[in-house]
Structure 1
Amino acid sequence: MSETGGAETNSTGNNTRGERVPAIERATGRAWADWVAVFDAHGARSLGHAEIAKLALATMPHGVESEEWWAQGVAIAFEQHAGLRVPGQSSTGTFRVSASRTLPLDRDAALAAWVDRFGEVTEHLGHAVSGSRSSRTEKRSFWRFSLDGAGKVEVAAALKDAAKDQAKTILAISQEGLDSGDRIEEWRAYWKAQLAQL
C-alpha cells in the first residue's frame, strides 16, 4: 500500500483490500506506509498471524480505541499486502465471506426474521444444510449451520448501539471454511440477497 492508501501489487499478485487502509489510518493515527515499516523492521513477513497480531498490538499508538480489534485488522491487511494471504482467506488457509445489514428491529426479532424466512431451507447454492442450531449470549443471538462441502455459516444479530438505540440491529451472515476463493463473490451476493429480503 502506498501512503495514500492505493493498492500496491506485490510479487505474489495479491493486494490488500484498498477500502481497509483509510479506516486503519484514521483509527490508528498511523500512515499505512509506517505500519508496513514497523512490520518489516520486526521481520513480520516470516511470522504467523497470531505473532503479527501481537506485534500490531504491541506497537499500536497510545490511545487507540478497541486496540485489540484494530490489531487484528492491521495484521490481516499486512498479511494481504505481503502476499501471506489473499482477501477473504483466513489464517488457516481456508476462505471466508460475510455480508451484513442494519434492521430496525431488536436483535431477537432481527434473527427471527431471518430464521422465519430461511431457517427451513435445506440447501444453499447446491450445498446441503446440516446441524442447524440457535444460541444466545448477553450481546448476540445466533443461528448456525454447516453446508456440505462449503464450510460453516453463522447468522448473528447484535444491537447496533445498545447505549443509543434499542431498535436497530446489525444482522451479519458469516461463512467460513471455503476451500478456495473462487466463489467468494457469488456467496457474498447470495447472502446479501437474503438480507435484502428482510
Structure 2
Amino acid sequence: MSAAAESGNSTRPGNIPALERATGRAWDDWLRYFEAEGARELTHADIARLARTRMPEGLDNPDWWAQGAAIAYEQHAGLRVPGQSSSGTFRVSASRTMPLDRDAAIDAWRTAHGEREAHLGHAAGEPRSSRTEKRSFWRFGLDGAGRVEVSATPKGDDRCILAVNHDGLPSGDRIEAWRGHWKAMLAEL
C-alpha cells in the first residue's frame, strides 16, 4: 500500500490552482501528460525534468514550478504524502517576517532559544552558525528527529524572513505538532 493510501492524504488542494495559474495548464492536462510519460515509474528528479519541459516561456522561476508540479503529481499518484520528501522522510517548516536585518534575527533566535537542550522530547545537538551572501543560518540536529535549519533572508532594507526548516522526520505522524512548536518559538521573538 502506498504512503498516501495509508495516511488518507493526497495532493494539497491549495497547490493546484497556483500551479494552473502560473503555467496556464489545467491540472487534468498535467495528469494526462505525466501518465502518458510513465511518471509513476520515474524518480522525483525525472518527473521534475518532464515538468520543466512543459513550463511556459517567460515564467519566473520555472525550475521551482517544475518541482512543485512533480511533487503535486507524486502526491496525487500516491508516491508521497504532503510533508514527505523524495527520500521518504518528512519535513515541516514555519516562518515569520521580522523587523530586523538577517544577522540580528539569527541573534534573536540564538538569545531566545540557543541554550535549549531539547525540542518535543528530542535532544538538540551542538548548534553551528554560518553565513552566505544571501542568508544567515543557525543549524542543529535533533536526536531521532532529523535536522533543523533556522535561516534569515533579507526582505528589503529593514526586514527579513526568519524560517525554520525541519528535515528528516522519520514519519508524518507529528508534522502538525512540530509545526506548532516552531511557530510558537518564532512567535516568542
Is residue 103 from structure 1 mapped to residue 98 from structure 2 by the alignment? yes
Matched with 1:79 is: 74
Q: Aligned-pair distance for 1:61?
A: 1.7
Matched with 2:135 is: 140
Q: What code does the residue aligned with 1:66 have?
A: N
Question: Tell me, what secondary structure is at the counterpart of 1:131?
Answer: coil
Is residue 180 from structure 1 mapped to residue 180 from structure 2 by the alignment? no
User: Which structure is higher in strand share?
Assistant: 1
Q: Summarize the Cα distance change of 1:43–1:145 in structure 2 as closer, same or farther, 3 Å threshold.
A: same
Matched with 1:27 is: 22
For residues 1-12 of structure 1, the aligned pairs below 5 Å read: none
| Runs of 5+ consecutive residues of structure 2 not aligned to the other structure | none
Is residue 123 from structure 1 mapped to residue 114 from structure 2 by the alignment? no
Q: Summarize the Cα distance change of 1:188–1:166 in structure 2 as closer, same or farther, 3 Å threshold.
A: same
CA distance in 2: counterparts of 1:10 and 1:152, whole angstroms: 27
Is the contact between residue 10 and residue 81 of structure 1 (CA under 8 Å) also seen in structure 2?
A: no
Q: What code does the residue aligned with 2:42 have?
A: L
Q: Aligned-pair distance for 1:120?
A: 1.0
Matched with 1:149 is: 144
Query: Which residue of 139, 155, 158 corresponds with 1:167?
Result: 158
Give CA deviations for 1:129-161 in whole Å, capped at 9, x if unaligned: 11310011100111000000100000011012x
CA distance in 2: counterparts of 1:36 and 1:112, whole angstroms: 45
Normalising by structure 2, report the TM-score: 0.93
Matched with 2:108 is: 113
* Structure 1 runs, 4 residues or longer, greater than 6 Å off: 9-12
Is the contact between residue 52 and residue 75 of structure 1 (CA under 8 Å) also seen in structure 2?
A: yes
Is the contact between residue 14 and residue 81 of structure 1 (CA under 8 Å) also seen in structure 2?
A: no
Q: More deviation in 148-157 or 52-61?
A: 52-61
Normalising by structure 1, report the TM-score: 0.89
Query: Which residue of 51, 59, 84 corresponds with 1:89?
Result: 84
Q: Aligned-pair distance for 1:14?
A: 3.2
CA distance in 2: counterparts of 1:72 and 1:87, whole angstroms: 14
Question: Tell me, what secondary structure is at the counterpart of 1:166?
Answer: coil
Query: Which residue of 44, 60, 69 corresponds with 1:65?
Result: 60
CA distance in 2: counterparts of 1:85 and 1:10, whole angstroms: 9
Matched with 1:196 is: 187
Give CA deviations for 1:56-109 in whole Å, capped at 9, x if unaligned: 111212221101111111111111011000000000101111111111111111
Is the contact between residue 13 and residue 83 of structure 1 (CA under 8 Å) also seen in structure 2?
A: no
Question: Tell me, what secondary structure is at the counterpart of 2:86?
Answer: coil
Matched with 2:46 is: 51
Aligned pairs, number: 186
CA distance in 2: counterparts of 1:25 and 1:109, whole angstroms: 38
State the identity as a percent.
Answer: 65
